[in-house]
Amino acid sequence: MKLTYERLAGVLLITFLLYWAALGLKPVDRHDWMLENVMLIPVFALLLWGWRRRLFSRTSHVLIFVFLCLHEVGAHYTYSKVPYNEWTQAVFGQPLNDWFGWSRNHYDRLLHFLYGLLCAYPAREIFLRVAKVKGFWSYFLPLDLMTSTSAFFELIEWAAAEVFGGELGAAYVGTQGDIWDAQKDIALASLGALLAMVINAAVNHRCQRDFAREWSDSLAVR
C-alpha cells in the first residue's frame, strides 16, 4: 500500500526521532554531539515550512532522511572517530582503509559528498517551486547552493573552533592534520551535487519532451 504524503512524512519523522534518541543516549563526546545537532534546528524548520506547503516530494523527504541518519552516526561517534574500519574488519576481515591505503578517517569526507549527492535534488525542488526557475538554471543553482552552503559550513566550523578551542574545537572541525581539509570537503560536496544534477538532467532529457526547448529558453537574453 502506497503511503500518503502526510503519512510518509510522519513515518520518517518518528523513525528519525527514535534513531536520534538512541544515538544520543551515550555519544562518544556529549559536547561535540550537541554542536553537531545544532544544524537540525534550521533543517527541521525548513522541513516543517515545506511540509505545510508540500514543497518537497516524497523522494526528497527520503533523501533528506537518509542524509540526516548518516549525519547522526558522525555526531554519535564524532566524525573523526566513526569506527567504519572496525565494521569492515568484522564483516570482511580487513579494515576499509587498508583496501585504499588511507591513513585518516574519511567518514566526514563521505558525508560532505553525500550532502551534495542527496540534498541537491531537494534544493532543486525549492528553486523550481519557489523561485520558478527553469532549464539550465534549475540544475546550476542547486549545484551553486550546495557549494556555497558547504563553504559557509566550513566558516561555521572555523568560528566554532575559535570560540570553543581545545579538544572540542578540534573534534568539531575534524581536519585530522590536513591543511586542505576545508577545500577538499567543499570539492566533494560540489562533486556530489554535480553528479546528482547530471543524473537528474539525463533522466529529464529522456522523459521530458520539451527539455531542449526549455533549456534553450532559459539561456535566451531577454
Question: Tens digits of per-residue pLDDT, 174-218?
Answer: 556 667 888 899 999 999 999 999 999 999 999 999 999 999 999
- The pTM is what? 0.91
Is 196 within 8 Å of 117 (Cβ atoms)? Answer: yes
137-161 average pLDDT score: 91
Question: Tens digits of per-residue pLDDT, 51-90?
Answer: 989 999 999 999 999 999 999 999 999 998 999 999 999 9
Ordered DSSP codes for 153-207? HHHHHHHHHHHH-HHHHHHHH--TT-TTHHHHHHHHHHHHHHHHHHHHHHHHHHH
CA distance 205 to 200: 9
Amino acid at 118: L
Is 148 within 8 Å of 8 (Cβ atoms)? Answer: no
Query: Which has more pLDDT, 181 or 10?
Result: 10
* Band of pLDDT at residue 1, cut at 50, 70 and 90: low
Query: How many other CB atoms are found less than 10 A from the CB of residue 99?
Result: 10
Q: Is 176 left (phi over 0), alpha (psi -120 to 50) or beta?
A: left
pLDDT value, residue 165: 63
Question: Tens digits of per-residue pLDDT, 15-35?
Answer: 999 999 999 999 999 988 998
Tell whether the model's pLDDT for residue 167 goes beyond 80: no
* Band of pLDDT at residue 3, cut at 50, 70 and 90: confident
pLDDT value, residue 171: 56
Phi, psi of 214 (to 5 degrees): -65, -40
Is 69 within 8 Å of 128 (Cβ atoms)? Answer: no
* Band of pLDDT at residue 170, cut at 50, 70 and 90: low
Question: Tens digits of per-residue pLDDT, 83-137?
Answer: 999 999 999 999 999 999 888 899 999 999 999 999 999 999 999 999 999 999 9
Lowest-confidence range among 3-7, 144-148, 191-195? 3-7
Query: Which has more pLDDT, 169 or 36?
Result: 36
In 53-106, alpha helices (H)? 58-77, 84-92, 96-100
Is 95 within 8 Å of 88 (Cβ atoms)? Answer: yes
pLDDT value, residue 64: 97
Query: Which has more pLDDT, 173 or 5?
Result: 5
CA distance 211 to 15: 37
